[in-house]
Structure 1
């Protein structure tokens, strides 16, 4: 089966029982890949954003494979970001499919109001501590606009955990690969060393270790960059022939790519430490220095990256922190 870029087709056969469907998104990351896996249960891995364009591409791609939405028996989410889960409820209503995902995806998928209130309080405090100007706090509301525009409330029927076998797909094993998202899962099949990696490993871009609220709602945020590095190292130790990513082309040299990303990661940490040599700075100020052309447009992503590198320096006792007026100032 040919790819969309070759002869206008949306679906591409990646293995005898695994098909990639490339769906358009309105986001800077570009198209998202979802995967149809044929097994004991016909499984769709991710569904794309809630847009008419993505829906038409999904139904057209399934038709090219000879499958209809009504035949989907279960949807497995790699994580809860809207470009991967937005069409979930629409697929469920038509097919009656069950949803499988990590339990930490649940409040985002269900649009739990209590959690969303906690989410806003968490980020308000985080951004205030980071020195984000008050006029830029609108990014918290923009998150809600994003969710309400490109997804709708749904539900998760089956919670998945690390190293369990995927229900209905007995050859596939669940891997918990947090960092990009607290709910992020990958799938691995040992028989042909195939991995469906979501946004964990992407060929053309380094996944952002995005800060999210803590699972226990304690206010103590997870160290997402540390999580991401650990999950990458876990995958580097595995025998993987091919990673089918959530965006872009398959990764055929996962170890080489992972080691390059880890090296570049430390280089950015060193860059941030050198920036602090000129005097103490807030996380927001460091973000502006690290990402001068991007930080205003993508502040949640770039600030997450900066805070991740501060976390690494903190673990190594290479940074000092001072609090004044509720704002944290870092120095070396």
Structure 2
């Protein structure tokens, strides 16, 4: 259908599925949300909390014959603010029920105790990684970003791996962690369509972002290991069309996944070369791996480095020494 609104962003991408492109203030660019027709009209993700995003969403819905008030339920692929920021505004306008993975709940509901744990986790992680004290202000900036581009909402129902989506019986929930601990994808077997959030993206490799464990008694998740496992699960599936959270659809998911998995090993080779002349902290390795990017995108680049360190540690190819509270890695 033709979009007559300000934002030419809405289009049908599969049977009963419409993509609406939402602007974001982030370097990743626009985010794709999806409207799915079924027993209940369902919105997959919501975009960030900005007026531009709200206008794009309402214009996009109008262009395909719907209003926000028509939405009966909202499914969240994961809790990052470019996907969940408008949840509460949509809920208030429509009365829609919101469904997610259990691990998205403290982020969406902004539990105070969890947010304190969240910030302490990153402070300890960054110090252990050798991040200089003057750069630790990034934790406050990250917290402010969460509070600026999302607002407290609520989760009404929890989704489980390989179970159907409520009121969308053709769609199956898949737990696809790695980019986020709460990440879900949706799969429809009859036409082999997957709505993949940020799990599979055509033009960029999804960052396996380091996040706190589900409770303080556990070690941090090995996010890159999780991500690789979830990718391999999808590579074994019959998928003809992947609808991503950013960018264009993917038609060759197995080829793309193989490329992404291979690039992981290429990066571990680079890490070994960087460690050939002596031990280094994760922060020092990050600065060498991403010399033009690490200061601007420290949480993302440090996550990439730590993920690949995890792979090498699993293979017993690195040794760790602790000195003055900082971990140093060597061959």
Indicate the TM-score class for this superposition, using the shorter chain for normalisation: over 0.9
Alpha-carbon distance, 1:10 to partner: 1.6
2:55 counterpart of 1:56:
yes
Partners of 2:97 and 2:217 in 1: CA distance:
31
**Residues 72-111 of structure 1 mapped to structure 2, 5 A cutoff:** 72-111=71-110
For 1:160 and 1:273, locate their aligned partners in 2 and report how far apart those are by CA, in whole Å.
Answer: 40
Paired position in structure 2 for 1:14? 13
Partner of 1:291: 290
2:70 corresponds in structure 1 to 71
Assess if the C-alpha contact under 8 Å between 1:47 and 1:86 holds in 2.
Answer: yes
CA displacement at 1:127 relative to structure 2:
0.4
1:163 aligns with 2:162: yes
Q: Number of aligned residue pairs: give it.
A: 330
TM-score by length of 2: 0.98
* 1:296–1:17 distance in 2 versus 1, CA, 3 Å: same
**Partner of 2:45 in structure 1?**
46
1:161 Cα deviation after fit: 1.1
Output the CA distance in 2 between the equivalents of 1:162 and 1:270.
Answer: 34
| Cα separation, 2, equivalents of 1:222 and 1:3 | 43
Equivalent residues of 1:163, 1:175 under 8 A apart: yes
Give yes or no for the alignment of 1:137 onto 2:152: no
Q: Deviations over 1:50-93 (max 9, x none)?
A: 00000000000000110110110000000000000000000000
**Aligned equivalents of 1:214 and 1:3: distance in 2?**
43
Q: How does 1:184-203 map to 2 (within 5 A)?
A: 184-203=183-202
* C-alpha contact (below 8 Å) 1:213/1:219 kept by paired residues: no
**2:265 alignment counterpart:** 266
Aligned-pair distance for 1:2? 5.4
C-alpha displacement of 1:216: 2.3
1:228 is matched with which residue? 227
CA deviation map 1:276-324 (0-9, x unaligned):
1110000000000000000000000000000000000000000000001
Unaligned runs of 5+ in 1: none
Residue 16 of structure 1 deviates from its aligned partner by 2.6
For residue 278 of structure 1, give the secondary structure of its aligned residue in structure 2: coil
Q: Tell me how far apart the structure 2 counterparts of residues 281 and 261 of structure 1 sit (CA, whole Å).
A: 26
Structure 2: distance between partners of 1:46 and 1:328: 38
Distance in structure 2 (CA, Å) of the matches to 1:254 and 1:22: 22
**Shift in Å, 1:330:** 0.3
CA shift, 1:3, in A, is 7.8
Runs of 5+ unmatched residues, structure 2: none
Runs of 4+, deviation exceeding 4 Å: none
Q: Is the 8 A contact 2:3 2:64 kept in 1?
A: no
The DSSP-based 3-state class of the residue aligned with 1:328 is strand
Q: Indicate conservation of the 8 Å contact 2:7/2:60, yes or no.
A: no
Q: Which residue of 2 aligns with 1:315?
A: 314
TM-score normalised by structure 1 residue count: 0.98
3-state DSSP class of the match of 2:322? strand
Q: Secondary structure at the match of 2:19?
A: strand
SS of the residue 1:226 aligns to: helix
On the 8 A contact 1:214/1:220 being kept in 2, the answer is yes
C-alpha contact (below 8 Å) 2:7/2:56 kept by paired residues = no
The answer for the alignment partner of 2:147 in structure 1 is 148
Find the counterpart in structure 2 of residue 303 from structure 1.
302
Residue in 2 aligned with 1:118? 117
